[in-house]
Protein backbone atom coordinates (compact mmCIF):
# COMPACT_ATOMS: atom_id res chain seq x y z
CA UNK A 1 0.00 0.00 0.00
CA UNK A 2 2.30 2.73 -1.24
CA UNK A 3 0.32 4.54 -3.95
CA UNK A 4 -0.58 8.20 -3.56
CA UNK A 5 -3.97 9.30 -4.92
CA UNK A 6 -4.74 12.88 -5.95
CA UNK A 7 -8.13 14.27 -6.96
CA UNK A 8 -9.81 17.65 -7.16
CA UNK A 9 -12.74 19.57 -8.62
CA UNK A 10 -15.35 16.87 -8.13
CA UNK A 11 -17.89 19.63 -7.39
CA UNK A 12 -20.34 17.39 -5.59
CA UNK A 13 -23.78 19.00 -5.61
CA UNK A 14 -23.19 21.01 -8.78
CA UNK A 15 -25.51 19.10 -11.10
CA UNK A 16 -28.92 17.46 -11.28
CA UNK A 17 -29.89 14.33 -9.37
CA UNK A 18 -29.10 11.82 -12.14
CA UNK A 19 -25.70 13.34 -12.95
CA UNK A 20 -24.83 13.50 -9.26
CA UNK A 21 -25.61 9.81 -8.83
CA UNK A 22 -23.27 8.94 -11.70
CA UNK A 23 -20.57 11.17 -10.27
CA UNK A 24 -20.88 9.70 -6.78
CA UNK A 25 -20.87 6.14 -8.08
CA UNK A 26 -17.68 6.74 -10.05
CA UNK A 27 -16.02 8.55 -7.17
CA UNK A 28 -16.91 5.76 -4.75
CA UNK A 29 -15.29 3.24 -7.11
CA UNK A 30 -12.05 5.24 -6.99
CA UNK A 31 -12.17 5.50 -3.19
CA UNK A 32 -12.73 1.74 -2.98
CA UNK A 33 -9.68 1.12 -5.16
CA UNK A 34 -7.66 3.54 -3.01
CA UNK A 35 -8.60 1.50 0.06
CA UNK A 36 -6.82 -1.48 -1.51
CA UNK A 37 -3.52 0.08 -2.61
CA UNK A 38 -3.14 3.66 -1.33
CA UNK A 39 -1.12 4.93 1.58
CA UNK A 40 -2.47 8.47 1.15
CA UNK A 41 -5.24 10.42 -0.58
CA UNK A 42 -4.89 14.14 -1.31
CA UNK A 43 -8.02 16.13 -2.11
CA UNK A 44 -6.67 19.24 -3.84
CA UNK A 45 -9.74 21.47 -3.46
CA UNK A 46 -13.34 21.72 -4.64
CA UNK A 47 -14.51 18.27 -3.64
CA UNK A 48 -17.84 20.05 -3.14
CA UNK A 49 -19.40 22.73 -5.27
CA UNK A 50 -20.18 24.43 -1.98
CA UNK A 51 -19.44 23.47 1.59
CA UNK A 52 -20.25 25.36 4.76
CA UNK A 53 -20.55 24.06 8.30
CA UNK A 54 -23.15 25.56 10.58
CA UNK A 55 -23.07 24.55 14.24
CA UNK A 56 -25.40 21.60 13.70
CA UNK A 57 -26.20 21.60 9.96
CA UNK A 58 -24.25 20.20 7.00
CA UNK A 59 -25.08 20.29 3.27
CA UNK A 60 -27.25 17.30 2.43
CA UNK A 61 -26.76 14.69 -0.28
CA UNK A 62 -23.14 13.76 0.42
CA UNK A 63 -23.48 11.09 3.09
CA UNK A 64 -22.24 8.21 0.89
CA UNK A 65 -19.03 10.03 0.02
CA UNK A 66 -18.46 11.17 3.60
CA UNK A 67 -18.94 7.61 4.85
CA UNK A 68 -16.51 6.28 2.22
CA UNK A 69 -13.90 8.84 3.28
CA UNK A 70 -14.35 7.92 6.93
CA UNK A 71 -13.97 4.22 6.08
CA UNK A 72 -10.85 5.00 4.08
CA UNK A 73 -9.32 6.89 6.99
CA UNK A 74 -10.21 4.09 9.40
CA UNK A 75 -8.51 1.62 7.04
CA UNK A 76 -5.25 3.51 7.58
CA UNK A 77 -5.13 5.66 4.46
CA UNK A 78 -3.95 9.15 5.37
CA UNK A 79 -6.30 11.76 3.89
CA UNK A 80 -5.38 15.41 3.46
CA UNK A 81 -7.96 17.93 2.26
CA UNK A 82 -6.69 21.24 0.83
CA UNK A 83 -9.31 23.97 0.60
CA UNK A 84 -10.32 25.16 -2.87
CA UNK A 85 -12.25 28.20 -3.98
CA UNK A 86 -15.63 26.45 -3.60
CA UNK A 87 -15.04 24.62 -0.31
CA UNK A 88 -12.90 27.18 1.48
CA UNK A 89 -15.15 26.94 4.57
CA UNK A 90 -14.32 23.31 5.37
CA UNK A 91 -13.86 23.03 9.09
CA UNK A 92 -13.78 20.91 12.20
CA UNK A 93 -16.24 18.28 10.96
CA UNK A 94 -13.65 16.65 8.69
CA UNK A 95 -10.91 16.61 11.29
CA UNK A 96 -12.96 15.66 14.37
CA UNK A 97 -15.56 13.34 12.83
CA UNK A 98 -13.80 11.81 9.83
CA UNK A 99 -10.12 11.88 10.79
CA UNK A 100 -9.12 13.95 7.76
CA UNK A 101 -6.37 16.56 7.94
CA UNK A 102 -7.58 19.94 6.63
CA UNK A 103 -5.21 22.57 5.21
CA UNK A 104 -6.01 26.04 3.94
CA UNK A 105 -2.61 26.68 2.40
CA UNK A 106 -0.16 24.85 0.14
CA UNK A 107 1.30 21.49 1.06
CA UNK A 108 4.93 20.50 0.48
CA UNK A 109 6.14 17.01 1.37
CA UNK A 110 8.71 14.40 0.36
CA UNK A 111 7.92 10.86 -0.76
CA UNK A 112 10.28 8.24 -2.15
CA UNK A 113 12.97 10.89 -2.47
CA UNK A 114 10.73 13.25 -4.48
CA UNK A 115 9.53 16.67 -3.41
CA UNK A 116 5.83 17.31 -4.01
CA UNK A 117 4.08 20.70 -4.04
CA UNK A 118 0.26 20.67 -3.86
CA UNK A 119 -2.16 23.58 -4.08
CA UNK A 120 -5.53 24.23 -5.69
CA UNK A 121 -4.25 26.89 -8.10
CA UNK A 122 -6.96 29.55 -7.88
CA UNK A 123 -5.82 33.16 -8.11
CA UNK A 124 -2.73 32.47 -10.23
CA UNK A 125 -3.97 33.95 -13.51
CA UNK A 126 -2.42 37.36 -14.28
CA UNK A 127 -5.88 38.96 -14.30
CA UNK A 128 -6.92 37.45 -10.96
CA UNK A 129 -6.17 40.53 -8.84
CA UNK A 130 -9.84 41.23 -7.96
CA UNK A 131 -10.42 37.56 -7.20
CA UNK A 132 -7.44 37.45 -4.85
CA UNK A 133 -9.03 40.30 -2.89
CA UNK A 134 -12.39 38.49 -2.83
CA UNK A 135 -10.64 35.29 -1.70
CA UNK A 136 -9.19 37.10 1.30
CA UNK A 137 -12.65 38.37 2.25
CA UNK A 138 -14.41 35.00 1.82
CA UNK A 139 -11.85 33.17 3.93
CA UNK A 140 -11.98 35.76 6.68
CA UNK A 141 -13.36 34.25 9.89
CA UNK A 142 -15.48 37.35 10.59
CA UNK A 143 -17.15 37.10 7.17
CA UNK A 144 -17.89 33.41 7.73
CA UNK A 145 -19.29 34.20 11.19
CA UNK A 146 -21.69 36.69 9.60
CA UNK A 147 -22.76 34.14 6.98
CA UNK A 148 -23.73 31.71 9.74
CA UNK A 149 -26.49 34.08 10.79
CA UNK A 150 -28.32 33.33 7.56
CA UNK A 151 -30.80 30.46 7.72
CA UNK A 152 -29.09 27.40 6.15
CA UNK A 153 -31.74 27.10 3.41
CA UNK A 154 -31.13 30.71 2.39
CA UNK A 155 -27.37 30.50 2.79
CA UNK A 156 -27.07 27.32 0.72
CA UNK A 157 -29.38 28.69 -1.98
CA UNK A 158 -27.32 31.86 -2.36
CA UNK A 159 -24.11 29.82 -2.40
CA UNK A 160 -25.39 27.47 -5.11
CA UNK A 161 -26.09 30.41 -7.41
CA UNK A 162 -22.68 31.99 -6.89
CA UNK A 163 -20.88 28.63 -7.09
CA UNK A 164 -22.55 27.83 -10.42
CA UNK A 165 -21.57 31.23 -11.81
CA UNK A 166 -17.98 30.89 -10.61
CA UNK A 167 -17.58 27.33 -11.90
CA UNK A 168 -19.01 28.15 -15.34
CA UNK A 169 -16.80 31.23 -15.63
CA UNK A 170 -13.65 29.37 -14.59
CA UNK A 171 -14.11 26.37 -16.88
CA UNK A 172 -15.75 27.84 -20.00
CA UNK A 173 -15.76 31.65 -20.12
CA UNK A 174 -12.66 32.94 -18.38
CA UNK A 175 -9.85 34.18 -20.62
CA UNK A 176 -6.58 33.30 -18.96
CA UNK A 177 -4.57 35.48 -21.31
CA UNK A 178 -1.37 34.69 -23.21
CA UNK A 179 0.45 33.69 -20.02
CA UNK A 180 -0.68 30.53 -18.21
CA UNK A 181 -0.31 31.67 -14.62
CA UNK A 182 -0.69 28.17 -13.22
CA UNK A 183 2.04 26.72 -15.42
CA UNK A 184 4.24 29.72 -14.72
CA UNK A 185 3.82 29.15 -11.00
CA UNK A 186 4.64 25.46 -11.47
CA UNK A 187 7.84 26.54 -13.23
CA UNK A 188 8.67 28.72 -10.23
CA UNK A 189 8.08 25.91 -7.75
CA UNK A 190 10.13 23.47 -9.81
CA UNK A 191 12.90 26.06 -9.98
CA UNK A 192 12.79 26.20 -6.18
CA UNK A 193 13.33 22.47 -5.93
CA UNK A 194 9.95 20.76 -6.32
CA UNK A 195 9.96 17.56 -8.39
CA UNK A 196 6.18 17.25 -8.80
CA UNK A 197 3.67 20.12 -8.74
CA UNK A 198 0.00 19.14 -8.51
CA UNK A 199 -2.92 21.55 -8.96
CA UNK A 200 -6.60 21.52 -9.86
CA UNK A 201 -8.97 24.45 -10.46
CA UNK A 202 -8.76 24.78 -14.23
CA UNK A 203 -10.77 21.62 -15.05
CA UNK A 204 -8.37 20.61 -17.84
CA UNK A 205 -6.34 17.45 -17.08
CA UNK A 206 -2.68 17.82 -17.97
CA UNK A 207 0.67 16.24 -17.24
CA UNK A 208 3.73 18.01 -18.59
CA UNK A 209 7.46 17.97 -18.03
CA UNK A 210 8.86 21.36 -17.04
CA UNK A 211 12.64 21.32 -16.80
CA UNK A 212 13.58 18.61 -14.34
CA UNK A 213 10.11 18.50 -12.80
CA UNK A 214 6.56 17.45 -13.55
CA UNK A 215 3.43 19.62 -13.62
CA UNK A 216 0.08 17.85 -13.14
CA UNK A 217 -3.38 19.36 -13.37
CA UNK A 218 -6.00 16.96 -12.05
CA UNK A 219 -8.83 18.02 -14.34
CA UNK A 220 -12.41 17.69 -13.08
CA UNK A 221 -15.36 15.38 -12.39
CA UNK A 222 -17.91 17.24 -14.48
CA UNK A 223 -16.45 16.48 -17.90
CA UNK A 224 -13.31 14.34 -17.52
CA UNK A 225 -13.70 12.31 -14.29
CA UNK A 226 -9.93 12.35 -13.82
CA UNK A 227 -7.53 11.84 -10.94
CA UNK A 228 -3.84 10.97 -10.57
CA UNK A 229 -1.91 8.15 -8.96
CA UNK A 230 1.77 8.17 -7.99
CA UNK A 231 3.13 4.64 -7.79
CA UNK A 232 6.51 2.99 -8.37
CA UNK A 233 8.17 6.33 -9.01
CA UNK A 234 5.78 7.49 -11.73
CA UNK A 235 2.61 9.57 -12.02
CA UNK A 236 -0.40 8.42 -14.04
CA UNK A 237 -3.53 10.35 -14.96
CA UNK A 238 -6.56 8.10 -14.64
CA UNK A 239 -10.22 8.46 -15.56
CA UNK A 240 -13.51 6.69 -14.90
CA UNK A 241 -15.25 6.14 -18.22
CA UNK A 242 -18.53 4.22 -18.35
CA UNK A 243 -17.82 3.19 -14.76
CA UNK A 244 -14.50 1.60 -15.79
CA UNK A 245 -11.27 2.95 -14.28
CA UNK A 246 -8.60 3.33 -16.98
CA UNK A 247 -5.62 5.52 -17.93
CA UNK A 248 -6.72 8.93 -19.18
CA UNK A 249 -6.41 9.26 -22.95
CA UNK A 250 -7.07 5.63 -23.76
CA UNK A 251 -9.63 5.03 -26.53
9 or 124: which carries more pLDDT confidence?
9
Model confidence pLDDT, tens digit, residues 140-163: 566 566 666 666 666 666 666 666
Query: What's residue 178's pLDDT?
Result: 46
> How many residues are listed for the chain in this entry?
251
**How far is residue 159's CA from residue 117's CA, in Å, rounded to a whole number?**
30
> Containing domain of residue 95, as a range?
3-247
**How far is residue 209's CA from residue 214's CA, in Å, rounded to a whole number?**
5
Query: What's residue 221's pLDDT?
Result: 96
Query: What's residue 138's pLDDT?
Result: 58
Long-range contacts, 165-170 (Cβ 8 Å, 24+): 166/85, 166/86, 167/11, 167/14, 167/49, 167/86, 167/222, 170/201, 170/202, 170/203
Q: Say yes or no to pLDDT of 101 above 80.
A: yes
Query: What's residue 15's pLDDT?
Result: 87
- Residues 33-52 have a mean pLDDT of 93
Q: Say yes or no to pLDDT of 34 above 90.
A: yes
122 or 22: which carries more pLDDT confidence?
22
Model confidence pLDDT, tens digit, residues 105-137: 899 999 999 999 999 988 776 555 455 554 555
The mean predicted confidence, pLDDT, of the chain is: 84
Find how far residue 46's CA is from the centre of its chain: 4
**Into how many domains does the chain fold?**
1
Model confidence pLDDT, tens digit, residues 54-90: 777 777 778 999 999 999 999 999 999 999 888 877 8
| DSSP secondary structure letters along 18-52 | HHHHHHHHHHHHHHHHHHHHEEEEEEES-SBS--B
Asked if 72 and 33 touch (Cβ cutoff 8 Å), the reply is: no
Model confidence pLDDT, tens digit, residues 164-215: 555 565 555 455 554 578 899 999 999 999 999 999 998 999 999 999 999 9
Beta strands at 226-231 and 3-7: parallel, antiparallel or unpaired:
antiparallel
**How far is residue 251's CA from residue 240's CA, in Å, rounded to a whole number?**
12
φ, ψ at 7 (rounded to 5°) = -145, 155
165 or 244: which carries more pLDDT confidence?
244
Beta strands at 196-199 and 101-103: parallel, antiparallel or unpaired:
unpaired
220 or 152: which carries more pLDDT confidence?
220
Asked if 225 and 217 touch (Cβ cutoff 8 Å), the reply is: no
**How far is residue 85's CA from residue 135's CA, in Å, rounded to a whole number?**
8
Q: What is the CATH number of the domain that holds 203?
A: 3.60.21.10
97 or 52: which carries more pLDDT confidence?
97
Amino acid sequence: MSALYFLSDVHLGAEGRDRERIKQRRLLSVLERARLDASALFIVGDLFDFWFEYGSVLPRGHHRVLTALENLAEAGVGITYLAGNHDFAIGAFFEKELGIRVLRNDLDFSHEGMRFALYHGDGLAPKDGPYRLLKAVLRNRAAQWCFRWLHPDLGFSLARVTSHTSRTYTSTVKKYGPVDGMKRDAERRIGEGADVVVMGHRHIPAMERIGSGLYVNLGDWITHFTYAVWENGAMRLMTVRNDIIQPFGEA
